[in-house]
Amino acid sequence: MPGFELFGDQERKEVNDVLDSGVLMRYGFDGMRNGHWKAKELESELCKTFQTEHVQLVSSGTAAVSVALASAGVGAGDEVIMPSFTFVASFEAILMLGAIPVLVDIDDTLTLDPKAVEAAITPKTKAVMIVHMCGSMGDLNALQAICTKHNLLLVEDACQAIGGTYNGQPLGSIGDLGCFSFDFVKTITCGEGGAVITNNKDYYINADHYSDHGHDHDGNDRGAETHPFLGYNFRISELNAAVGLAQVKRLPEFIAIQKKHYTILRDAIARVPGVTFRKVPKGGEESYAFLNFFLPDLEVARNVTEAFKANDIDVCWNYYDNNWHYIRKWDHLKNIKSLFPMSSEIKQGLANLQNKTFEQSDHYIGRNISCLIKLSWTEAEVNERASRMVEVIEASI
């Protein structure tokens, strides 16, 4: 991670196909294309990769979450349970629909705590959204059981976990809908792009129409298409899809490299007393895009983070003080700093965030160090990095 580290001839060929045809839009202009339909081809490849019936490409991972929820009927006043540790796009995508994000604690998987989810369910709850942060998953069996019991949607945000599996199934394919990001720093990238996946044909048709202004995509005359319902513009371009088409074919190659580098680092750090690792549920296999480990307390984690920086050990973070990924710094959400007026339901739903505490999440995020796994490292560089990381951690504990 990320896939741009290994751009090569495959990506150039696919992009040049689009430039040679001159058609950058995924819909229409059939006669000019010379048979090139990169978005359609990528959707077909992703169906095979994710072992799912339907894939709808969209413009970003954020768009994927909004499109997925809208396609299943989530909207104004509905509550969507989500984790306190995620990217800001998670609540942005929910708010875009007029729905209410309900934040709950994570556990030692760094994803949703099923007990916290069950405690947060109200008559307004419509969906539970698990975010597979940093390449791994939560207890999907428990979450599925909760959703079945309460007749709720289970939505998987697998934007950071492409290539991970749970009981042999690709992450994203287990819930009612799955969401992916292919932005510039993901394991496979389109530059910008995302996808909604599902085995529910109705949700897929809704996503297909909704992401393109409500077009029904019936026939081959775009101007003659009707609009069964309102939609918006969340389309991906052919140029972005072309890059992704080359990258998805390389996913096994990328995952193998990530696993190799991850394993070298983990095996070295595991020998340091006081270090433990995030829990991976039974039956789960990470995507190996990140290595996450826990230190004894927040002070040690902060010291190690600073020491990593001082010793030029890059791409390692403690998210406790991070502006993008953890509830502590989301003042714009807590104080509802919006350019446009929010509904009274959203204001009421978010009111408790100003005073709500997340002690359990603090306990895990405060002690966690998350290290991105680069594809471009050589084995020698990984081994040297492992030795330096061990030295720094041992000196700080």
- Picking from 176, 198, 204, 210, the residue whose alpha carbon sits closest to that of residue 59 is 210
Q: Which residues contact 309 (CB under 8 A, 6 or more apart)?
A: none
Q: What share of the chain is helix, strand, coil (3-state, %, to 5)?
A: 45, 15, 40
Strand partners, 372: 290
Contact predicate 23/33, CB 8 Å:
yes
Q: Strand 79-83 vs strand 125-131: parallel, antiparallel, or unpaired?
A: parallel
Contact predicate 274/397, CB 8 Å:
yes
Active site residue 149: no
Contact predicate 176/53, CB 8 Å:
no
Tokens (6 digits) for 173? 């394919």
Find the catalytic residue in 40, 124, 149, 186.
186
378 vs 397: CA distance, rounded Å:
29
Q: Which residues contact 42 (CB under 8 A, 6 or more apart)?
A: 57, 241, 244, 245, 248
**Spatial strand order in the sheet of 276-277:** 276-277, 290-294, 368-372, 316-317
CB-count exposure of residue 40 (10 Å: 0-12, 13-18, 19+): middle
Which residue numbers are catalytic? 186
